[in-house]
Amino acid sequence: MSGHLVVRSRDGTSIAYDRIGDGPALILVGGAFSHRSWKGWTRLSELLAPRFTVISYDRRGRGDSGDAPEYAVEREIEDLAALVGTEGGSAHVFGMSSGGVLALRAAAAGVPIERAVVYQPPFSVGAGGHVPPTDFAGRLDELVASGRRGAAVSYFMREGMGAPRAFVGFLRVARPIWRNLEAVAQTLPYDLAVMDGTVHGTPLAREPWASVAATTLVVDGGKSPVSLRKAADALAERLPDAERLTLEGQSHNVSMKVLAPVLEEFLRDRRRDA
């Protein structure tokens, strides 16, 4: 594995990343709470390294990456563009949850992404799914601004994600896990901004998804709520070139051992393998 590497984004923010493996470039884009040292990412990187050059990075504000005084989704798109630039100007991407939404926004904005895989984009597109309260964004901003990291994590998980109170309580007791969640609490409004109004139970708009040129695989887990299945279906319907897959027996906490072969099959260079 290449050691701690850094690329400068367009606004000068330093973006930390690791590189492992050999083959076509594949960039992993994490969702809320994740960073490149998350054991799921490191496991997935190891599984894919024989076939791909895997780039795992800290999204701005997390881990070893820098940040800017003002946040904008466009800056995160520029971060991803900078990483693609380090790999010769094009790459595949895999995005988890809101990270998948960010990856597709980048593709729609013109970042040269060859193929994309997204796992469980957390849209709420109709009745039956969890919908955050109307003042969710403002309340989350208040908790983050006041430095109440634990309260921000708990509020985001319960009111934003719909996680059961008992599950959040269990995580609070698991102190090492909870400390890791609190460490990136200040970036939770970033993920909400990436979702950009797609979590309120209304039909998914045509754009920007119709502007994604990359062939995309939209994946969900068979054990996840039906609302997330509907969200994945809605996204696939709006993408110009999409395939759909449900991984039976999987939830949002997907097994990387199950996921890795799916990525290999979809992203492999068919011309080289012919």
Are 182 and 223 members of one domain?
Answer: no
Are 89 and 223 members of one domain?
Answer: yes
Are 71 and 118 members of one domain?
Answer: yes
265 found inside a domain: yes
Q: Which of 8, 4, 19 is nearest to 49 (CA)?
A: 19
200 found inside a domain: no
The dihedral sign for the CA sequence 232, 37, 106, 192: positive
Which residue positions in the chain have pLDDT lower than 70? 1-3, 269-274
21 found inside a domain: yes
Spatial separation of the C-alpha atoms in residues 46 and 38, rounded to whole Å: 13
Are 186 and 212 members of one domain?
Answer: no
Could you tell me if 68 and 92 are in contact, meaning their C-beta atoms sit under 8 angstroms apart?
Answer: no
Say what the pLDDT of residue 248 is.
Answer: 96
* CATH number of the structural domain spanning residue 257: 3.40.50.1820
Say what the pLDDT of residue 2 is.
Answer: 54
130 found inside a domain: no
How many structural domains is the chain composed of?
Answer: 2
For residue 36, give its domain range: 2-123+205-273
Tell me the pLDDT tens digit for each residue of 200-259: 999 999 999 999 999 999 999 999 999 999 999 999 999 999 999 999 999 988 999 999
131 found inside a domain: no
Say what the pLDDT of residue 3 is.
Answer: 58
Say what the pLDDT of residue 272 is.
Answer: 47
Are 60 and 23 members of one domain?
Answer: yes
Are 91 and 11 members of one domain?
Answer: yes
Say what the pLDDT of residue 4 is.
Answer: 80
Say what the pLDDT of residue 106 is.
Answer: 98
Indicate the pTM of the whole model.
0.95
